[in-house]
Amino acid sequence: MDEQTINNAYSVLAEKKLALAEKASKVIEFTYKLETKKAVALQDGTIEGKNAEIRDAVAREFLKIEYDDLKLAEYDESVARVEFDIAQFEVSRVQALLRLAEVLK
């Protein structure tokens, strides 16, 4: 185990953490845009219906692009989360190997 391997593990972890934060931020952004447009459409009568179920169906059709954008952002966030978890596993593996090397000295 050399210094470069250790530094690389932590560098990748930091990179994946930043990517995850960016993807999570996109989810928040798209959720806000969707909810804002939905509220405006409900208020101005663009989205109508007898009950919440019907209004939701109308909203999904009317705001299809926004719903699709949000779904894609959520998928990207889940991929980023898995990549971050894998990077965490690698850091843990490196730490375990370092502890083992110390014990075996």
The predicted-structure confidence for 31-76, as pLDDT tens digits, reads as follows 999 999 999 999 999 999 999 999 999 999 999 999 999 999 999 9
Single out the residue of 63, 61, 65 nearest to residue 37, CA to CA.
Answer: 63
Contact 89, 24 (CB under 8 A): no
State the pTM of this model.
0.87
pLDDT class of 99 with cuts at 50, 70, 90: very high
CB 34 within 8 Å of CB 63: yes
